[in-house]
Amino acid sequence: MKNQNRTFLALLMRWGPFLIITALFLLAPQFISPFRLSQLGKFLTFAIIAVGLDLIWGYGGMMSLGQGLFFSLGAYGFAMYLKLLASGDKIPDFMFWSGLTELPWFWAPFSNPLFAVVAALVIPSLIAAIVGYFIFRSRVQGVYFSIITQALTLLTSIWFVGQQAYTGGTNGITNLGSAKFFGQSLLSTGVQTGFYLATVICLALVYVLARWVTDSRFGRLLIALRDDEARVRFLGYDPVLIKTLVFTLSAGIAALAGVLFVPQVGIISPANMGVVPSIEMVIWVALGGRGTLIGAIVGALVVNFGRSYFSETYPEIWQYFLGLLFVAVVLLFPAGIVGSLMQGFNWLRIRIQGEPMSDMTEYGTTPYRPITLGHSASNLSAPAAPAATSTSTATSATASATVSSPSSTTATAKGGS
């Protein structure tokens, strides 16, 4: 009986804060202005992307620079539904301007909301699955994965700009205001609040899903892959399958964020797709704390609120600040906000109680390990130039990081119980 109480308490400690924060976000429309609400909704969709990115980067060690691509593909799919809804019987204005007289066959089914949402989620995931399978099969790792996903993002955005008649070109898909839901305009407060609430719920669900994935056997394999892929392969697991799965999942999550982004922001254009937004997504996760999930959400909100604050008051400074943020996070706070807080909390705990964090507070059970050049270089027959000396410094840094949060061991042990 007593034991049961303890489990309940542990569950409450673990999920209580999560439930409280979710409830607070759900109640936010009561307290803040519609302008701030739409801003918050937009940033929460970014937080969804960040969770997906943390899954693949923080846990899987694969820094995808293609999240902007999957995000915008999802967004374009749902934007086309809204556009067709807004245009009524006519074809969308940008198609008319480009000389099309009827709707292209591949956009036609997007007038069905269910098809539009499903396609907006499935198509990016499918692309990620196919591309990921081929990339991982040829054992492309580390920065090469980043560069290839970046090239993929670039080529798709160039292509979308070029296909003016089908995608709206540089302007993207916009003027969605006359779309109506249940007789109310898309821009009305009621519909906007609805999409905001949907965003909060989706973020909560995505977070729970990601937490479940990382706590599962699959998640442990993912972390093992990040830390030593060759060893995982030698143990008989198939890294290609695991990596493709998690890449697909993160792409699907980014696409979901895109679907929720469009109705709240009212525009999707290649500017949201390109190389620059994709790298910024990485800094959200890095600032919040890699491999913590909650850090991804914190980072996305902090960076974007910081941007809106600075660009409202001192637009020039923001760019400097963002640039220095990248440098500072990498050089000075590799653990990010949440990671550093956890290290601090853990230090206090050791001081006061003489023991590290128990498995009850499981955040940060997987401290980020910088990936050394050694692996990818040997794989690609590149001269592993400075790796010879710097690998040792990097691993010693890693060692100290692991020592400072010994909870990683408890987390692994937890699996057995």
Among 53, 257, 373, 411, binds other proteins (CB under 8 A): 373
- H/E stretch holding 138 reads none
Among 1, 383, 416, 417, binds other proteins (CB under 8 A): 383
Per CB under 8 A, which of residues 161..180 are in contact with other proteins? 161-162
Strand (E) or helix (H) holding 303: helix 294-313
Is the CB of 198 or the CB of 279 nearer to other proteins? 279
Residue 268 in 3-state DSSP?
strand
Interface size with other proteins, residues (CB under 8 A): 63
- Is residue 379 involved in binding other proteins (CB under 8 A)? yes
**The residue to which tokens 């696409």 are assigned:** 255
Is residue 372 involved in binding other proteins (CB under 8 A)? Answer: yes
Q: Rounded CA gap, 39 and 308, in Å? A: 9
| Cα 102 from Cα 7, distance rounded (Å) | 61
Per CB under 8 A, the list member of 108, 388, 399, 413 interacting with other proteins is 388
DSSP H/E element including 93: helix 93-97
Q: Which is nearer to other proteins, 112 or 138 (CB)?
A: 138
Calculate the dihedral angle through the C-alpha atoms of 77, 249, 299, 214, rounding to the nearest 10 degrees: 160
State the minimum distance, in angstroms, from the CB of residue 325 to other proteins: 7
Strand pairing report for 180-181 and 184-185: antiparallel
Q: Looking at residues 5 to 64 of the shown chain, list those that interact with other proteins (rule: CB under 8 A).
A: 63
Q: Which is nearer to other proteins, 17 or 323 (CB)?
A: 323
CB 395 within 8 A of CB 384: no
- For residue 328, the SS3 value is helix
129: tokens are: 């699955």
Q: Does residue 230 belong to the site contacting other proteins (CB under 8 A)?
A: no
Is there binding between residue 147 and other proteins (CB under 8 A)?
yes
Nearer to other proteins, 38 or 250 (CB): 250
Identified binder of other proteins from the candidate list 144, 166, 310, 333, rule CB under 8 A: 144
Task: Determine phi and psi for 61, rounding to 5 degrees.
Answer: 75, 10
Q: How far apart are CA 254 and CA 121, in angstroms?
A: 9
Residue with tokens 């995505």: 206
Q: Which of residues 271-310 bind other proteins (CB under 8 A)?
A: 275-276, 279, 282-283, 286
To the nearest whole angstrom, how small is the minimum distance from the Cβ of residue 258 to other proteins? 21
**SS3 state of residue 181:** strand
Residue from 13, 155, 348, 403 binding other proteins (CB under 8 A): 155
How many CB atoms are located within 10 Å of the residue 118 CB?
12
CA atoms within 13 A on the CB side of 176: 28
CB of 87 to other proteins, least distance (A): 26
List 380, 406, 408, 410, residue binding other proteins (CB under 8 A): 380
Q: Does 140 bind other proteins (CB under 8 A)?
A: yes
Q: Which residue has the tokens 């040829």?
A: 138
Pick between residue 155 and residue 235 the one whose CB is nearest to other proteins.
155
**What are the distances in angstroms from CA 34 to CA 127, 187, 190?**
36, 10, 10
What gap in Å lies between CA 136 and CA 140, rounded to an integer?
6
Structure-block tokens of residue 383: 């001269």
Residue 89 parent element (H or E): none
Which residue among 10, 122, 154, 245 contacts other proteins (CB under 8 A)?
154
> Partners of 224 in the beta sheet?
none
Q: State the minimum distance, in angstroms, from the CB of residue 5 to other proteins.
A: 45
Contact positions with other proteins (CB under 8 A) in 305-364: 316, 319-320, 322-327, 329-331, 334
Q: For residue 163, what is the DSSP state?
A: -
Report, in Å, the least distance between residue 126 CB and other proteins. 17
- With CB under 8 A as the contact rule, the residue among 112, 378, 390, 409 that binds other proteins is 390
- The C-alpha angle with vertex 196 and arms to 338 and 184, in degrees rounded to 5, equals 170
In the complex with other proteins, the residue whose CB is nearer, 224 or 380, is: 380
Binding mask 81-120 toward other proteins (x if CB under 8 A, else -) reads ----------------------------------------
**Given the rule CB under 8 A, which residues bind other proteins?**
63, 134-135, 137-140, 142-144, 146-148, 150-152, 154-155, 158-159, 161-162, 275-276, 279, 282-283, 286, 316, 319-320, 322-327, 329-331, 334, 370-374, 376-377, 379-391, 393-394
